[in-house]
């Protein structure tokens, strides 16, 4: 069980024992658009999810605040996601990247989610500080490829299910179990999906005029022939 160190914006340090890591998938608010995308992927051989949304349990040790991510080959890529972090006494929101092996994803989504570490930023907000204006928040991701930094994803959280809805669907209750971290969905990719040398993700709050950010470098490990 890893213990990760965070900094609460406007507060103090937060040491959080991560007991479980969940990746929520197919979390779009537009149910018709979600089903259309599932059908598109099914037509090219990707197995549809058993439920919508679906929840992938991963090893808690995959969650990392490091700014370097080691992965096998150049078959993976990141994607911006807001992350719920439940302590004993409060729910926090952070920004992370569901870095996924795209080659493996083509034949086993669950395994692909477990192939790579899941970066998350060190700074977090208390969820109750954004709850009343949640739908105004914005997500972005930049990718560095061949040395060029370009916008890779951008969109408002309104494209995704409200985090309180996701918590209720996962647990049947209004709170996550303490020690839970849950990634909650991403935005559409601008251009080509795929590998980059680095990724930067952010969650922006235009009401309070503040931003959560995390940047990390991708190092592809040599694979023996």
pLDDT at 40 exceeding the cut of 60: no
Q: Where are the domains of the chain?
A: 3-221
Q: Is 1 helix (H, G, I), strand (E, B) or coil?
A: coil
Tokens of 176: 């996550």
Give 3-221's CATH code, choosing from 3.30.300.30, 3.40.50.920, 3.30.830.10, 3.90.850.10.
3.90.850.10
pLDDT for position 45: 65
d(CA 95, CA 67): 13
Look up residue 147 and give its DSSP letter.
Answer: T
Least confident of 42-46, 111-115, 136-140: 42-46
pLDDT at 192 exceeding the cut of 60: yes
């Amino acid at each position: 069980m890893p213990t990760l160190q965070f900094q609460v914006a406007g507060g103090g340090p937060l040491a959080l024992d991560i007991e479980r890591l969940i990746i929520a998938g197919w979390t779009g608010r537009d149910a018709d658009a979600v089903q259309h995308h599932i059908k598109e992927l099914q037509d090219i051989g990707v197995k549809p999810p058993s439920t919508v949304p679906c929840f992938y349990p991963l090893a808690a040790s995959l969650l990392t605040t490091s700014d370097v991510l080691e992965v096998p080959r150049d078959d993976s890529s990141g994607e911006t996601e807001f992350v719920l972090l439940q302590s004993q006494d409060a729910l926090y929101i952070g920004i992370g990247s569901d870095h996924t092996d795209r080659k493996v994803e083509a034949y086993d989504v669950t395994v692909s989610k477990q192939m790579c570490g899941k970066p998350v930023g060190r700074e977090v907000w208390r969820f109750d500080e954004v709850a009343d204006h949640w739908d105004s928040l914005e997500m972005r991701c930049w990718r560095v490829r061949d040395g060029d930094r370009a916008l890779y994803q951008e969109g408002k959280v309104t494209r995704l299910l409200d985090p309180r809805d996701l918590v209720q669907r996962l647990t049947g209750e209004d709170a996550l179990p303490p020690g839970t971290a849950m990634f909650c969905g991403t935005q559409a990719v601008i251009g080509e999906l795929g590998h980059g040398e680095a990724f930067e993700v952010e969650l922006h709050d235009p009401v309070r005029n503040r931003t959560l950010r995390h940047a990390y470098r991708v190092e592809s490990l040599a694979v023996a022939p």
